[in-house]
Amino acid sequence: MLGTAGVQGTTIETAGVQGTTIETVGVQGIAGAAGAHGPVGAGGTTTETPGTGGAGTEGITGVREPGGTGGRRASRALAWAELLRLPALFTVPGDALAGAAAAGGHADPRTVLAIGSSLCLYEAGMALNDWADRAEDAAERPHRPLPSGRVRPSAALTAACALTGAGLALAAGAGRQALAVATPLAATVWAYDLALKHTPAGPAAMAAARGLDLLLGAAATTGRVRAALPSAALLGTHTLAVTAVSRQETRGGSALAPLAACVTTGLLTRLVTRRPTRLPAGRGEAAAPGLPGPAARGPARLAAALRHRTGPTATGTVTGRGPARLTAALGAAYAATAARPYLHAALNPSPPLTQRAVGGGIRATIPLQAALTARSGAAVTALLVAALAPAGRKFARKVSIT
C-alpha cells in the first residue's frame, strides 16, 4: 500500500494484483498513516508492505490489513505497559527482601507472598495515579495512555481496584501481621493518588508507602517489624527526595529540589555504609541476634561473641568483612546512579533533565535496597536484588519509567 498526499478530500483507489491497493488520500488521511506506520518520506509519502504486522491503519479508511488484529493487541499491551510503568516493577521486590533481612530472617514462601502483595499494590497505585491525573495529563502529557484514548479511564480504575484487592489477599496469605502492614500501605497509596499528591504532604505520603512496603517484608518473614524500622526510614527518605523532584518534572524551573535530593543521596550513602550500632540483647528488638545480654555468662557469651565477630551464617549471608565491603560497593553504586542526574537537573532544571533525574532516582532505589540488605548480612540476597538493576534499565529503553 502506497499513500501520497494529494488534494485535500480527494480519494482515488486503484485495485492492484492480489489485493494490493494503491491509494491517494488527502492530507488528513496521511497524518494518521504516518503516525501508525513509521517513517515518512519526502513530501509526506508513507510506504508499507502489506502483511508485515504493522501497528494498524488508523487514519486510513477502507483499508484492511493482514495481521491487523495482532498489531492492535500489541498496541494495547504497550499502552497498559506504559500505564503501569512496568520497568518500575523491578524496584519493588527489594523492599520485602531488605525488610526480611533487616528483621533477621531470610526469604521464605511468606516473603514471596509479601513480594506479590507489594507488586499488586504498587501497580494499583500506578493505574490509580493516571486515572486521577487524566485531566492534567490531557494538557501536559497528552501522549499518556488515558488522554490519548488507548486505555479507557474506567478500565484503569477497575484495574486499580482489582490489584488492590489482590495485594491485600496475598498479604493475608502471608499472615495476620503482614495484612496489618499491607492495609495502611494500600490506604496510603489511595490517599496519595486521590488527595495528597498535589499537597505539601504528598512526598511524605509516598515516602511512608515505600517504608511500609519494606516493613511488609519484615512482618511477613519474621514478624519483627521494629527491627526493620531503621532500614524503612532510610528507604523512605530516598523516596521523599525523588518525589519532591518529580513534582516539577513536567514544568522544570526549580533547582532546589534536585540539589536537595543530591545532598540527601550523599547523606544516605554515608548512613547506609556505616556499620550499624549493635545494642546488647535485652534492650528490645533492636538488639542484634546473637549478642549477649547482661545475664549471659561463660560459653554462651563466648559463642555469641564469635558469631558477632564472624557475622551471620544463615542462608544467603557471608562472614567476616564481606558484608561491609559489599555494602560499601552497593552504596557507591547507589550514589553514582542517583547523584549525577540530580546534579545535572540542579544545574539546568529543564523538564527533560528533571525527568531524567526522576528516572535516575527511581532506578537508584534498587542499589539502595541491595545495600540495605547487605548491611543486614544477607549478601547473596543483596546480589540478587542488585541484579534487578540492569534488567530494569534494559526494559526502560522500551517503556518510560516515569
Higher pLDDT, 40 or 117: 117
> For 335-390, how does the pLDDT look when each residue is reduced to its tens digit (9 = 90+)?
999 999 999 999 999 999 999 999 999 999 999 999 999 999 999 999 999 999 99
* Joined grid coordinates for residue 245: 523532584
When pLDDT is averaged across residues 186-201 and rounded to a whole number, the result is: 96
- Among 24, 43, 181, 18, which residue's Cα sits nearest to residue 100? 181
Distance CA 402, CA 82 (A): 9
H or E element, residue 298:
helix 298-310
**Which cell numbers hold the place of 389?**
538493576
Q: What is the number of H-type helices and E-type strands within the chain?
A: 15, 4
Check residue 118 and give its pLDDT: 98
Q: Which helix (H) or strand (E) holds 4?
A: strand 2-5
Higher-confidence position of 400 and 267: 267
Q: Between these two residues, 26 and 268, which has the higher pLDDT value? A: 268
Contacts of 376 (CB under 8 A, 6+ apart): 98, 101, 102, 104, 231
Q: What pairs with residue 15 in β-bridges? A: 21
Predicted structure pTM score: 0.74
Q: Tell me, what's the pLDDT at 211?
A: 98
Report all structural domains of the chain as residue ranges with CATH numbers, in order of start: 1-53 (no CATH), 85-273+317-396 (1.10.357.140)
Res 161: pLDDT: 98
Please check the confidence at residue 91 and state whether its pLDDT lies above 60: yes
2-5, strands of its sheet edge to edge:
12-15, 21-25, 2-5, 46-47
Question: For residues 106 and 99, what is the distance between their CA atoms, to the nearest angstrom?
Answer: 10
DSSP string, 152-214: -HHHHHHHHHHHHHHHHHHHHHT-HHHHHHHHHHHHHHHHIIIIITTSTTHHHHHHHHHHHHH
Q: Quickly count: other Cβ atoms within 10 Å of residue 190's Cβ.
A: 18
22 strand-pairing partners: 2, 14
Would you say 333 and 265 are in contact if contact means Cβ atoms under 8 Å apart?
no
- Residue 141 sits at the vertex; the CA angle it makes with 138 and 144, to the nearest 5 degrees, is 85
Q: What is the pLDDT of residues 203-259, one digit of tens each?
A: 999 999 999 999 999 999 999 999 999 999 999 999 999 999 998 887 777 899 999
Amino acid 121: pLDDT:
98
- 28 CB-near residues (< 8 Å, 6+ apart): 8, 59
Q: Are 58 and 36 in contact (CB under 8 A)?
A: yes
Per-residue pLDDT, 276 = 55
What nine digits make up the cell of 363? 532506578
Q: How far is Cα 364 from Cα 385, in angstroms, rounded to an integer? A: 12
- Give residue 198's Cα distance to chain centre: 20
Q: Is 351 exposed, middle or buried (0-12, 13-18, 19+ CB in 10 A)?
A: middle
Report the range out of 72-76, 295-299, 312-316 with the highest average pLDDT: 72-76
Whether the pLDDT of residue 70 is over 80: the answer is no
Report which of residues 210 and 290 the model is more confident about: 210
Confidence of residue 399 (pLDDT cuts 50, 70, 90): confident
pLDDT at 45 (0 to 100): 40
Contacts (Cβ under 8 Å, ≥6 apart) of 355: 249, 250, 402
What cell numbers appear for 232 in the block? Answer: 524503612
